[in-house]
């Protein structure tokens, strides 16, 4: 068992770390004003991060899942908003298109998405159903040569800035989850309206919108997979998405730890750095241990996926632990900073706000425990 990164993986990590330094200069302003990082998303496309796991045959970088989580961690250390844009695009859109899309769909949609020329969004959540893919009220009525799409999607990452949307919808209600399909819908299609931008607690410079579909005509050739494949598509996509969220949470926690450690060495009380006080040392030790455990779980989940092995449990474990570590230790980072931690200049209050969403999206911590328990009890 080798825990050393390959030279290629180190290069990806270092490139992402260098890019993250560029993100720092305006990150507070983007957070305050909820500004979408358009130029940085374009730069991620140029660096290959927006198609990092997609094969070079379709315009991607052809890297593995481990490279993906290494890059995500470094970006999330500085700006979780930019990290979630990259994550949703790669995990929830490109992976599914490459794995299950037709050759025509790959040529038309996957290539520009993988090159970073276009942005993708995954539309699953609804007002009455978060990540419950089996409970779809959005209807895609089969009209022969096309579907007629009607319904509403909520909490869609990249919702306002995306060009291509993968929409999960019910076609055969009498079949339950076996009657669900996934459709490719382009921005600008008649009847497709983007709702107002959500004013969020954290990840504020990523855009989150509701989507409204009113008699939207979707050609049959825009369905991914066979009729009724949508539920299975969503479940497998969410498993990969959880690895991406684990990497985001890991990055948020690690970024907060780095800031807390540096501050503890610099800040003095009673004539000596606070890092010499045992109470602070215990906090830093716990942060180091739990963040490293989250990193190992996340890397194992990525490795398991890359081996072609079942990875649902590993993804859920990584997501569960990393998100709880992110929330716990961003709070500790604020505590170590004292009053300074409560102001924006020191970044840790933003990381604390960003951490919370990692416990919520792609299924709450309670859902992850259910996924893990089912696998354990099987």
pLDDT tens digit string along 14-33?
999 999 999 999 999 999 99
Beta bridge partners of 280: none
Q: What is the pLDDT of residue 331?
A: 98
38 vs 128, residue with greater confidence: 38
Half-sphere exposure of 133 (CA within 13 A, CB side): 24
Q: What is the DSSP letter of 88?
A: I
362 given a catalytic annotation: yes
Q: What is the DSSP letter of 176?
A: G
Whether the Cβ atoms of residue 264 and residue 274 lie closer than 8 Å to each other: yes
Q: What is the pLDDT of residue 1?
A: 76
Find, among 92, 114, 255, 253, the residue nearest to 182 by Cα.
92
Q: What is the pLDDT of residue 128?
A: 78
Catalytic residue among 73, 290, 332, 362: 362
User: 348-357 and 80-87 helices cross at what angle (nearest 10)?
Assistant: 30
Residues 54-62, mean pLDDT to the nearest whole number: 98
Domains of the chain, start order? 7-119 (1.10.540.10), 121-230 (2.40.110.10), 237-377 (1.20.140.10)
What's the mean pLDDT when you consider all of the chain? 96
Kindly tell me if the per-residue pLDDT of 140 is higher than 80. yes
The Cα 60–Cα 98 span in angstroms is: 11
Helices (H), the chain: 7-24, 27-33, 38-47, 65-78, 80-87, 95-100, 103-105, 111-114, 230-266, 278-306, 312-337, 348-357, 365-377
Q: What is the pLDDT of residue 65?
A: 98
The Cα 201–Cα 82 span in angstroms is: 15
The Cα 267–Cα 209 span in angstroms is: 41
Span of 126-135, 209-218, 267-276 with lowest mean pLDDT: 126-135
> Model pTM?
0.96
Q: What is the SS3 assignment for 42-65?
A: HHHHHHCHHHCCCCHHHCCCCCCH
pLDDT band at 378 (very low <50, low <70, confident <90, very high): confident
Find, among 263, 256, 255, the residue nearest to 280 by Cα.
263
For tokens 């989150």, the residue is: 208
Q: What is the pLDDT of residue 322?
A: 98
pLDDT tens digit string along 125-135?
998 776 566 77
Find, among 101, 84, 98, the residue nearest to 37 by Cα.
84
Residues 327-337, mean pLDDT to the nearest whole number: 98
């Amino acid at each position: 068992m080798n825990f050393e990164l390959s030279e290629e993986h180190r290069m990806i990590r270092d490139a992402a770390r260098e890019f993250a330094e560029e993100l720092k200069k305006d990150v507070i302003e983007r957070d305050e004003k909820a500004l979408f990082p358009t130029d940085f998303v374009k730069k991620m496309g140029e660096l290959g991060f927006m198609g990092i796991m997609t094969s070079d045959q379709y315009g991607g970088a052809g890297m593995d899942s481990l490279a993906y989580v290494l890059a995500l961690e470094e970006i999330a250390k500085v700006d979780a908003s930019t990290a979630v844009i990259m994550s949703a695009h790669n995990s929830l859109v490109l992976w599914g298109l490459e794995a299950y899309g037709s050759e025509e769909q790959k040529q038309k949609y996957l290539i520009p998405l993988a090159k970073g020329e276009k942005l993708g969004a995954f539309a699953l959540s609804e007002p009455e159903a978060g990540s419950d893919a089996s409970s779809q009220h959005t209807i895609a009525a089969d009209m022969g040569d096309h579907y007629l799409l009607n319904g509403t999607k909520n909490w869609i990452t990249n919702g306002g800035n995306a060009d291509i949307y993968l929409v999960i919808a019910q076609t055969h209600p009498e079949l339950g989850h076996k009657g669900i399909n996934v459709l490719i819908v382009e921005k600008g299609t008649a009847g497709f309206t983007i709702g107002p931008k959500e004013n969020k607690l954290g990840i504020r410079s990523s855009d989150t919108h509701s989507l409204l579909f009113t008699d939207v005509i979707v050609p049959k050739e825009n369905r991914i997979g066979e009729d009724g494949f949508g539920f299975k598509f969503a479940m497998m996509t969410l498993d990969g998405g959880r690895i991406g969220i684990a990497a985001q949470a890991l990055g948020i926690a690690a970024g907060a730890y780095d800031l807390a450690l540096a501050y503890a060495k610099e800040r003095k009380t009673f004539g000596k750095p606070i890092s010499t006080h045992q109470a602070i040392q215990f906090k830093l030790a716990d942060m180091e241990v739990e963040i490293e455990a989250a990193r190992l779980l996340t890397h194992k989940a990525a490795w398991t996926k890359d081996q072609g092995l079942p990875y649902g449990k590993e993804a859920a474990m990584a997501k569960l632990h990393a998100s709880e570590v992110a929330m716990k230790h961003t709070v500790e980072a604020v505590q170590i900073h004292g009053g300074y931690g409560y102001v924006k200049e020191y970044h840790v209050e933003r990381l604390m706000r960003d951490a919370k969403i990692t416990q919520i999206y792609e299924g709450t911590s309670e859902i992850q425990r259910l996924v893990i328990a089912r696998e354990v009890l099987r």
